């Protein structure tokens, strides 16, 4: 799989102008094991300790009036999980789901506490053991700062994996707003609790 500049998506470039610091390896980019996956021509990695499950794409219940990258929610063994599309989140062009398209369920920490979120990726690659010496700083985006969700760049043979802080990627306010959804006793599907309806 080919790799290239992280600025391939316009949303990444836009975020670079307002978030994070450039030219540094962030504290979260520690040596260890990362699950790597593909989006378009790029390869990304997230810490395996935050990965709960990998599954094929399933039926997603759309939620009105949410950000375009928030695809909705799924019912995972009685628990409602928000699902986001990383392609859309990073401003990459839309693509049809294929045989390798997957949902990675991750544990994330947001402002209102821990939650699980599903992220849609083009395909899961491998678990990569990254040494500290293999992690390089995020590049200088033409004098602007790197997005807060970029931890660093991991060198692997002749390729580069973009290490992500999945907490920063998946806990935007639009995603955290879906915490109020629960499984409904009647259908087993997503819905709001009676207390939520009163609020």
Q: What is the tens place of the pLDDT at every residue in 106-133?
A: 999 877 788 899 999 999 999 999 999 9
Q: How many helices (H) and strands (E) does the chain have?
A: 5, 13
CA distance 175 to 71: 10
First to last CA, the chain: 48
Fold of 6-184: OB fold (Dihydrolipoamide Acetyltransferase, E2P) (2.40.50)
Average pLDDT over residues 2-19: 38
Check pLDDT > 60 for residue 197. Answer: no
CA distance 15 to 83: 21
pTM above 0.85, yes or no: no
Percent of the chain with pLDDT over 70: 70
Angle at 109 between CA 106 and CA 113, to 5 degrees: 125
Q: By C-alpha distance, which of 55, 72, 74 is closest to 64?
A: 72
The whole-number pLDDT of residue 28 equals 53
Q: Which residues contact 197 (CB under 8 A, 6 or more apart)?
A: none
CB 163 within 8 A of CB 173: no
Q: What are the angstrom distances between the C-alpha of 18 and each of 11, 21, 38, 114, 144?
A: 11, 9, 25, 25, 8
Average pLDDT over residues 35-40: 96
Choice between 56 and 175, residue whose per-residue pLDDT is larger: 56
Choice between 102 and 158, residue whose per-residue pLDDT is larger: 102
């Amino acid at each position: 799989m080919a790799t290239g500049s992280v600025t391939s998506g316009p949303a990444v470039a836009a975020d670079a102008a307002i978030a994070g610091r450039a030219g540094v390896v962030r504290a979260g980019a520690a040596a260890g094991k990362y699950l790597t996956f593909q989006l378009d021509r790029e390869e990304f990695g997230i810490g395996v300790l935050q990965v709960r499950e990998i599954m094929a794409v399933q039926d997603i219940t759309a939620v009105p009036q949410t950000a375009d990258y928030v695809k909705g929610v799924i019912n995972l063994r009685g628990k409602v999980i928000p699902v986001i599309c990383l392609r859309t989140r990073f401003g990459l062009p839309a693509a049809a789901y294929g045989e390798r398209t997957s949902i990675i369920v991750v544990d994330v920490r947001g402002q209102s506490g821990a939650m699980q979120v599903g992220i849609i990726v083009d395909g899961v690659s491998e678990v990569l053991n990254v040494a500290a010496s293999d992690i390089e700083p995020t590049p200088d985006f033409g004098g602007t700062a790197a997005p807060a969700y970029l931890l660093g760049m991991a060198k692997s043979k002749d390729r580069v994996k973009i290490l992500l802080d999945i907490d920063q990627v998946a806990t935007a306010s639009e995603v955290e707003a879906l915490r109020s959804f629960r499984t409904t006793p009647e259908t087993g599907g997503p819905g709001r609790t009676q207390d939520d309806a009163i609020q």
